[in-house]
Structure 1
C-alpha cells in the first residue's frame, strides 16, 4: 500500500472537526497520514485537534500559522507531506468511506493518470436536516454537465480526459473538479504549488496542471458531501444572504481569473479568448447584474457593466442592458 497524505486546512471550524475526523477514520483505505494546518483559529479547534491526535493510530501532523488563507495553508501542508499521493480535505465537508480507495484504484490501474476526482453532493447544513441541494455536481436538472462532452477514454464510470480543449472547457464551464474531491500524485506538486488566492486558487491550479501536461480523470460517482453553510467562502454558496459578502467573493474570483495570464504564459488564442469571455460575463452578469443592480447598487453595477463592455465591446446584449440601465439611473438621479 502507498501512503496518502491528507491535507486539512481549517479556520474556526471547530463545530465541523469531529465530523471531519470521523469521515477520515472511516475510509476503507487506511494507509494515510493527516496534516492539519490551522490558519489561525480562535475557537476551540486546537483542543479538538489535540484530543483527536492523541487518540488516532495514524500519523498526525499539526501545523499552526497566522491567518493567511486556505491556499497558503494547503501549500504549507504540501511541503510537509511524505506520501506518494495527496488528498485535500475541507474541514466542513464529508468524504464517503470509499473516496480514497476508489481514487487510488484508478491511479494504480492507470499509471498515466496524475489526478483523479469524483462528484460531490451538495448538502445544506444550516437547518440541521441535511437537505440535498444538488444530487451530483456532475449533473444539472438530471442532465450531464459539459464535462461529459470532452473526449475521454471510458472504462465503466471512469473517464480519462484526452481532449486538447480541456483548459478552454475549464475556463468556460469548469470541469467540475475541486481539491476536496480529488486525489493526486505527489509529483504534481514537485513543479508547482497553489496560487496564493483566497478564492479561485483551485480553478486556476486545474488549468495550470493541464497546461503542464498532467492527465486528469473523473469517476462518475458521489465521493464527497459538500456541506453548504453560512461560513462558506466559495462562490458556489448561492444561499448566502449577505450580498456584500457575495460581492466580495465574486470580485476575488474575477481577480483570480485575471491573474491567469500571470501564472500561465502558454495559453492558446482560443484559451485566451475563453478567458476574456469568462471575465466579461462575470463582470457584467454575475457581479454587475445579479449582485449589484438587482440589489439596488446602481453606480457599482454601471461600473461593472463598463468593465464587461471593455472586455467584449461587440456584445450587443451588453450594450442593450447597459444603455437601458444607464438611462434609468440618470432619470432616477434627476428625480432626486
Structure 2
C-alpha cells in the first residue's frame, strides 16, 4: 500500500548554510500528501546534524546518510530505493520551492492521464536576483519526440533537470532506471531521456515553482577537463538511448 502520494528525494552535501531554508520551504507546502527523503552524501559540515534535527520533529522526514561520498547520482539512487510514493520528484539541498510545488504535481497527475509533469523555475544568484525571463503561463500535453527535444535543449523551462519534474515511480522501477554514477554533469538529462523513451504522455507547464540558486564554486560553475568528458559521455548515452528506442519502435510495427 502506498503511504504517500509523492516522495520528495532531497540530496545534500555540505549545504549546512542553506538546507534549513530548503527544508522549511518543503514544510510550508499547502498540500501535505508527501514524504521527504533526505540523502546526505557524507557531508563534513553540520548538514547531517541539521537534517537529523528535522527528522526528530517530523515523522514524514527520513534521513539516510552515506558512509562515504559517492556523488549526486548515487545519492538520488539511494533515495529511489527508499521511496514509497506513487510519484517521485527531486530537490537539491541548497534550493527552495514555492508553497504550491507539491500541489501542482499532485493536482495535474490526478486530473490528467500523463506520465510526467513539469513546472517552471526561477534561476537566481545567491543575492536572490532572478536571471531568467519568466514568461506567461503555458501548458501542453506532448508525446515522446517533443519532450525529448525539450529535455536536451539548453534553454527553455523543461531542459534536463529533475527538480522541475515529477515521475511515476512504477515506470522507474519496471524499467530499472537509475542515475549514471560515472557522470558528475548531465546525469539528470540522461535519466530524463531514458524515462521519456519508456513513458507515453508528458504535461509541460512553465509556471515557476522552483528556485534554482546558482552558487559560486558549484560543479556546474567550474570548468575542467573532467566536465568536458562528462558532457561527451552524457551526449553519447542520450544518443544511444534515443537510437535504441527508435529501433525498438520500428521492430514493433
TM-score by length of 1: 0.65
Deviation per residue, 1:156-188 (Å, 9 max, x gap): 843111363443454455642511111211123
Alignment partners' CA distance in 1, 2:23 and 2:52: 12
Give the 3 Å change call, closer, same or farther, for CA 170–181 of structure 1 in structure 2: closer
Give the 3 Å change call, closer, same or farther, for CA 88–172 of structure 1 in structure 2: closer
Deviation per residue, 1:93-128 (Å, 9 max, x gap): 111111110111110101x21111111111110xxx
Unaligned stretches of 5+ in structure 1? 145-155, 235-239, 270-336
More helix by proportion, 1 or 2?
1
Q: How big is the shift at 1:222? A: 0.5
Q: Which residue of 2 aligns with 1:131?
A: 129
Q: Is the 8 A contact 2:89 2:162 kept in 1?
A: yes
Q: Which residue of 2 aligns with 1:31?
A: 33
Q: Which residue of 2 aligns with 1:149?
A: none
Give the 3 Å change call, closer, same or farther, for CA 45–222 of structure 1 in structure 2: same
Q: Which residue of 2 aligns with 1:332?
A: none
Aligned pair partner of 1:255 in 233, 237, 243: 233
1:181 aligns with 2:167: no
Alignment partners' CA distance in 1, 2:144 and 2:39: 35
Q: Which residue of 1 aligns with 2:148?
A: 167
Number of aligned residues: 240
Give the 3 Å change call, closer, same or farther, for CA 21–189 of structure 1 in structure 2: same
Q: How big is the shift at 1:27? A: 0.8
Q: How big is the shift at 1:17? A: 0.8
Q: Which residue of 1 aligns with 2:117?
A: 116
Q: Is the 8 A contact 1:123 1:133 kept in 2?
A: yes
Aligned pair partner of 1:226 in 209, 212, 215: 212
For residues 6-155 of structure 1, the aligned pairs below 5 Å read 6-110=8-112, 112-125=113-126, 129-136=127-134
Alignment partners' CA distance in 1, 2:120 and 2:160: 8
Give the 3 Å change call, closer, same or farther, for CA 169–22 of structure 1 in structure 2: closer
SS at match of 1:120: strand
Cα RMSD (Å):
2.4
Alignment partners' CA distance in 1, 2:62 and 2:192: 28
Q: Which residue of 2 aligns with 1:193?
A: 178
Q: How big is the shift at 1:205? A: 1.5
Q: How big is the shift at 1:213? A: 3.0
Alignment partners' CA distance in 1, 2:160 and 2:140: 13
Alignment partners' CA distance in 2, 1:98 and 1:216: 20
Unaligned stretches of 5+ in structure 2? 248-253
Higher relative contact order structure (alpha carbons within 8 Å, sequence separation ≥ 6): 2
Q: How big is the shift at 1:38? A: 1.1
Alignment partners' CA distance in 2, 1:101 and 1:115: 15
